[in-house]
Structure 1
Amino acid sequence: MNQFFNNKRMIVLLISVIIFISTIAFSMTRNREDASIPQLFMNDITGLAATVIAKPAEAVNGFVDSVDNLLHTYEENQQLKQKIDALDNMQARIYTLDQENMSLKQELELQNSLSEFSTISSSVISRNPDTWVDQIIVDKGSEDGVAVDMSVMSGNGLIGRVAEVSPTTSKILLLSTANQSVNRVSAEVQMPDGPIHGIVDDYESNTGLLVMSEIDPSAKIEVGKQVVTSGLGGVSPASLLIGVVKEVRMDAFGLFQEVTIEPAGNIGEIRYVTIIKRGSEVAP
């Protein structure tokens, strides 16, 4: 019995909805002036309902458009970011190429100034951070004519000498190494009245300056004068530029003068080197 009444209620509700929709549809087809008061009332209700439904629909449509614009803006921003990253990489590459170009120009100028010597151009292939101030490895060896004790220059100045040679690579000990048994170079300060001799045998890591010691305490040395190899040590040829005098002082014992030297070669940044092949005309 309960099931029957429930079905009856559903049928009545369905018929009521059909009559309501039919009335609305019929009222929409007639002229408003000829409509009765109930029809006018129903038309107004229908218009109000349409307006109420349309507003949220418009809001939803506007929201969808906003989301679409936001996604489009995000995509454009991602593309711009990729272009900016590519530009940054290009600028870094240009900087590296400029530095390499500058280094190559310096090596070319150096070779032109060393026309009296035979030279071997080489590139640095290894520099261990643990031995950064001590040594570098270059890509030329005995097959290219490199031999132990040959002088090595970079950036217009002497930076060290060849310590070990393999067929295709060589180890270069730098003037900045703390090993005083290998960083000693016979040198001279070029003064108008004649050269003043001494030994380059130390490196100040805090200032980046070389130290030339064992200089006659009575010698008159001027700041800014060039310091070159003397050729008296039997290893390096004469007249290879080391740097310029930065400061003149007495040593810790007060027995000799010593000078600090601003290196002509950039010991901190070495990309290319020029190895000096000494000829038969060794200075006495």
Structure 2
Amino acid sequence: MKQFFNNKRMIVLLISVILFISTIAFSISRNRENTSIPQLFVNDMAGFTTNILSKPAETVTKFVDSVDNLLNTYEENQTLKQKIDELDEMQARVYTLEQENMTLKEEIELQSVLSDYERTSATVIARNPDNWLEQIIIDKGSEDGIEVNMSVMSGNGLVGRVSEVSPTTAKVLLMSTANESVNRFSAEIQTADKPVHGIVDGYDNQNGLMIMSEIDPDLEIEAGSKVVTSGLGGVSPSSLLIGTVKEVRMDEYGLFQEVTIEPSGNLKDVRFVTVILRKSEEANE
């Protein structure tokens, strides 16, 4: 009896499989009338195999695409960084040109003020960081009429004096130099009553101010008064602007007055200069 039921189950299972296959075959045969069942079986197996193999291929393709996108992103990033660097360089260049333009405008104004003098313009070509406030080198020399002790101006004021000359270049010692043998300028303060004479012989590096000493203690001096060269020293011509009075005080010995002067020329940023050759009337003579 038990064997009968077992055989019955096998028969039912076999009939079910046959019906299932027949249904599939009938369905396929309706859609693909000219294709045999074995061929359809082979096609299905091929499609199944293709699906299995296509997954790794798709994975590899996606990986390659990802690497390619990464490389493209890297290249674009490098290009953008280069453009940013170029933009920074351009901005720095524009700033430099703007500063030079402002300096040249000051030089043009200075040229109109110095109409009474024979002069020549020059460009600063060297400035040692170790002695920044000591000296500069300009691109004009003896071939251009430059001589030792000629006064040098920049911006709107006096900045120094020529100390050495070669055929094509010259060294200029600035008024801010610590060299006491060359940083002394005979000067006068323009007041309402009469000029007040003294010597510009010092520089306050911390505050960027010049110091004028040996001034009569009884004379009254107001802040804001113009300070110019007096021409009494026999080296610098007269009436070259040095700066304006900032503060008036007694010196450490209490014997003379001394004043601090706001320089009209920018001693810390000298790019272009004007060298005073001589008075125009002297040149005419």
**Alpha carbons 2:116, 2:280 under 8 Å: kept:** no
**Structure 1 residue aligned with 2:83:** 83
Structure 1: distance between partners of 2:115 and 2:26: 110
Partner secondary structure for residue 278 of structure 1: strand
**Structure 2 residue aligned with 1:218:** 218
The 5 A counterparts of 1:6-25 are none
**Structure 1 residue aligned with 2:11:** none
Structure 1 position 96 matched with structure 2 position 96: yes
**Alpha carbons 1:32, 1:40 under 8 Å: kept:** no
Structure 1 position 72 matched with structure 2 position 72: yes
Which amino acid is the alignment partner of residue 128 of structure 1? N
Instruction: Extract unaligned runs of 5+ from structure 1.
Output: 1-29
Structure 1 position 269 matched with structure 2 position 269: yes
Which amino acid is the alignment partner of residue 266 of structure 1? N
User: How many residues are paired up?
Assistant: 252
**Alpha carbons 2:107, 2:273 under 8 Å: kept:** yes
What is the aligned-residue identity percentage?
A: 66
Post-superposition CA distance 1:8-38 (Å, at most 9, x none): xxxxxxxxxxxxxxxxxxxxxx7765688x9
Partner secondary structure for residue 203 of structure 1: strand
**Structure 2 residue aligned with 1:13:** none
**Alpha carbons 2:151, 2:276 under 8 Å: kept:** yes
Aligned-pair CA distance for 1:264: 0.7
Aligned-pair CA distance for 1:107: 1.2
Structure 2: distance between partners of 1:109 and 1:228: 17
Which amino acid is the alignment partner of residue 224 of structure 1? G
Structure 1 position 133 matched with structure 2 position 133: yes
Structure 1: distance between partners of 2:76 and 2:143: 56
Which amino acid is the alignment partner of residue 183 of structure 1? N
Which amino acid is the alignment partner of residue 63 of structure 1? F
Post-superposition CA distance 1:138-171 (Å, at most 9, x none): 1111221111211110011100111122222211
Which amino acid is the alignment partner of residue 64 of structure 1? V
Which amino acid is the alignment partner of residue 255 of structure 1? L
Structure 1: distance between partners of 2:26 and 2:176: 105
Aligned-pair CA distance for 1:192: 1.5
**Structure 2 residue aligned with 1:200:** 200
Structure 1 position 149 matched with structure 2 position 171: no
**Alpha carbons 1:211, 1:258 under 8 Å: kept:** yes
Structure 1: distance between partners of 2:105 and 2:169: 23
Which amino acid is the alignment partner of residue 207 of structure 1? N
**Structure 2 residue aligned with 1:162:** 162
**Structure 2 residue aligned with 1:8:** none
Structure 1 position 105 matched with structure 2 position 76: no
Partner secondary structure for residue 279 of structure 2: coil
Distance 1:114 1:45, change over 3 A: same
Partner secondary structure for residue 202 of structure 1: strand
Structure 2: distance between partners of 1:143 and 1:151: 17
Distance 1:51 1:191, change over 3 A: same
Structure 2: distance between partners of 1:50 and 1:259: 98
Partner secondary structure for residue 178 of structure 1: coil
Instruction: Extract unaligned runs of 5+ from structure 2.
Output: 1-24, 30-35
Structure 2: distance between partners of 1:33 and 1:152: 105
Partner secondary structure for residue 277 of structure 1: strand
Aligned-pair CA distance for 1:280: 7.7
Structure 1 position 176 matched with structure 2 position 176: yes
Aligned-pair CA distance for 1:59: 2.5
Partner secondary structure for residue 218 of structure 1: coil
Aligned-pair CA distance for 1:266: 0.8
**Alpha carbons 2:118, 2:280 under 8 Å: kept:** no
TM-score, normalised via structure 2 length:
0.80
Structure 2: distance between partners of 1:59 and 1:74: 22
Aligned-pair CA distance for 1:60: 2.4
Which amino acid is the alignment partner of residue 74 of structure 1? Y
Which amino acid is the alignment partner of residue 55 of structure 2? K
Structure 2: distance between partners of 1:224 and 1:280: 29
Structure 2: distance between partners of 1:107 and 1:160: 16
Aligned-pair CA distance for 1:242: 0.5
